[in-house]
Amino acid sequence: MAHCLVVGGTGMLRGVCVVLAEAGHRVSVVARNKERLVGLVRDTQRSPGVVNPIPVDYLNNNALHEKLSEAIAVLGPISLSVLWIHGEAGDAPGVVARLLNEQKENCQVYHVLGSTAADPTKQVGDSRPFEHLANCSYHRITLGFRTGKDGSRWLTNDEIAQGVLDAIANERHEAVVGEIEPWENRPGR
Ligand SMILES: NC(=O)c1ccc[n+]([C@@H]2O[C@H](COP(=O)([O-])OP(=O)(O)OC[C@H]3O[C@@H](n4cnc5c(N)ncnc54)[C@H](OP(=O)(O)O)[C@@H]3O)[C@@H](O)[C@H]2O)c1
């Protein structure tokens, strides 16, 4: 089974980690809070796969590089990565991209972007670190909102995790979870 990487996997992407472990994969999970990582390991103990907790602050690019290199050395090349990296993370996407590109094996990269990526007036969700990588296929998932008769609301963690899993299952290069148009309908307007 595959070695998967989920950066930011103890929050809204927790359900993605659980499903990947249930499918038998080795799932390396990056987050800072050790208790939440331990809880994820505990909750997947009976799965055929395994969660490999990586407690590191991705703002520390050297530490991120070191820990991911260790994980690749122990668990093998990463063939699927799901990245939820906040915008102020400096070169964290670049660190991940370079490591994946150094592998001989191909990697599917699913880059999860917050709703501001759908704002036509803003330039966010920089995919440049992942462009022109020989060994990676880049997929972009934008998180939107839901509209009902009482107005609009942001997505729940379960909706986000399911939307990301659907994008992976269907190998979508561009996916939107929920809706992003018209942008004026987003919550809080
Ligand atoms: N369109 C939408 O509807 C939408 C879009 C985005 C978010 N949301 C909602 O907003 C909630 C909060 O968003 P959130 O961004 O806090 O997402 P989150 O997924 O709940 O938490 C962020 C994840 O990234 C990790 N993380 C954060 N900073 C890190 C760092 N410097 N180094 C390593 N790991 C780091 C966190 O673990 P640690 O804190 O332990 O490091 C956690 O695993 C989400 O749960 C979601 O429901 C909704």
AA letter at 130: F
Residue 78 gets which letter from DSSP? E
| pLDDT for res 183 | 87
Question: Is the previous residue joined to 55 through a cis bond, with omega within 30 degrees of 0?
Answer: no
**pTM flag (> 0.85):** yes
Rounded Cα distance between 106 and 136, Å, is: 6
Q: Return the residue whose CA atom lies nearest to atom 44 of ligand 1.
A: 12
Residue position matching structure tokens 């990586």: 54
For residue 28, the model assigns a pLDDT of 98
pLDDT tens-place string over residues 67-120: 999 999 999 999 999 999 987 778 999 999 999 999 989 999 999 998 877 776
Query: Contact 147/119 with Cβ under 8 angstroms?
Result: no
pLDDT tens track for 25-43? 999 999 999 999 999 999 9
Return d(Cα 82, Cα 54) in angstroms, integer. 14
CA distance 1 to 47: 13
**Which of the 8 DSSP states describes residue 179?**
B
Alpha carbon nearest to ligand 1 atom 23, residue: 8
Mutate to test the pocket of ligand 1, among 10, 56, 145, 183 (most ligand atoms within 8 A of CB): 10
Q: Give the per-residue pLDDT at 88.
A: 77
Q: Structure tokens of 15?
A: 């359900």
- The confidence score (pLDDT) of residue 65 equals 97
Domains defined for the chain, CATH in brackets = 3-135 (3.40.50.720)
CA separation for the pair 13, 178 (Å, rounded):
16
CB distance 114 to ligand 1 below 6 Å: yes
Whether the CB of 163 sits within 6 Å of ligand 1: no
Query: Using only C-alpha atoms, what is the Rg of the chain?
Result: 16
